[in-house]
Amino acid sequence: MKTSADLFNAAVGRQLRAEIAAAGSSIAAMARAAGVARSALDNYVTGKRSIPVPLVYSVCSIINVAPHLVLARAEERLNADIASAPAPVTPLRARPDVAPLGDDVPEVAFGSTLPHDRDTDDLYP
């Protein structure tokens, strides 16, 4: 299971990749401009490795975006991802006092032909 730090790092990486693309650059060109290997920058922006803070500042300087804006946008991105994630579903265990799906037994009502022992109204207070 990923930690919240891992999730934030991945969000920062996705945001950096988006900022690089919005600036009209590519990962390869940005890696050359920042003085890092393309594979390393690719690992950072895909969340495979933790992004060094000096690299965030370097990339932000090159694309002329304030680092705090990138981090704030990454946090917004992470919060949106968390909010849209499907909630965990816990399967319910079968109860012996509840009929299985598809086993519909009609309740006894006025004028019903069912015998009284099949009447479920007495089960409810």
pLDDT band at 104 (very low <50, low <70, confident <90, very high): low
**56 pLDDT higher than 70:** yes
Running DSSP on this structure, what letter comes out for residue 109? -
Q: Give this prediction's pTM.
A: 0.65
DSSP percent split of the chain into helix, strand, coil, nearest 5: 55, 0, 45
More confident residue, 42 or 87: 42
The average pLDDT across 28-39 equals: 94
pLDDT at site 89: 73
pLDDT at site 112: 58
Contact predicate 108/121, CB 8 Å: yes
* CA-wise closest residue to 25 among 54, 64, 55: 64
Lowest mean pLDDT among 12-16, 23-27, 77-81, 105-109: 105-109
The average pLDDT across 4-19 equals: 93
**116 pLDDT higher than 70:** no
Q: Which residues of 57-77 are buried (b: 16+ CB within 10 A; e: fewer)?
A: ebbbeebebebeebbebbeeb
pLDDT band at 84 (very low <50, low <70, confident <90, very high): confident
Lowest mean pLDDT among 29-38, 76-85, 95-104: 95-104
